[in-house]
Amino acid sequence: RPRAAVQPPSNLTFNMVVQAITTLAEFDEKIAAASLTVVDFYADWCGPCKVIAPKVEALSGEETDVAFLKVNVDNVEEVAAKCAISAMPTFKLFKAGKEVGELVGANIDKLKELVTKNK
């Protein structure tokens, strides 16, 4: 028999968007924005990356004036190489194309601090 549709709780925010980057040109275009851009460099096989991903999604819903991007280091190697990524997850923060912050590791509290400091 058909299943009933499950309605999400009304308090959920639906503006949570972490955009996946697939090319170097797209990456360069997005980080050139004047406002803060947070880039999550991750890998599918990285356990800590999987643990922090939903927390980063939630943060993107709270920080609506900040752009959140994610780069799969195995699929978009030229971006990972350009940014000298050697560990996952690595978060880099950019404003107007310039790097303004970096966090290596899955620490959502430190990431929140960096976002607040650099907005």
Looking at the annotation, which residues are catalytic? 46, 49
Got the DSSP string for 20-37?
EP-SHHHHHHHHTSSS-E
Q: 42 and 70 in contact (C-beta within 8 Å)?
A: yes
Find out whether 33 and 96 touch, Cβ atoms under 8 Å: yes
Cα-based angle 65, 11, 89 (whole degrees, multiple of 5) = 50
Question: 115 phi and psi, to 5 degrees?
Answer: -65, -50
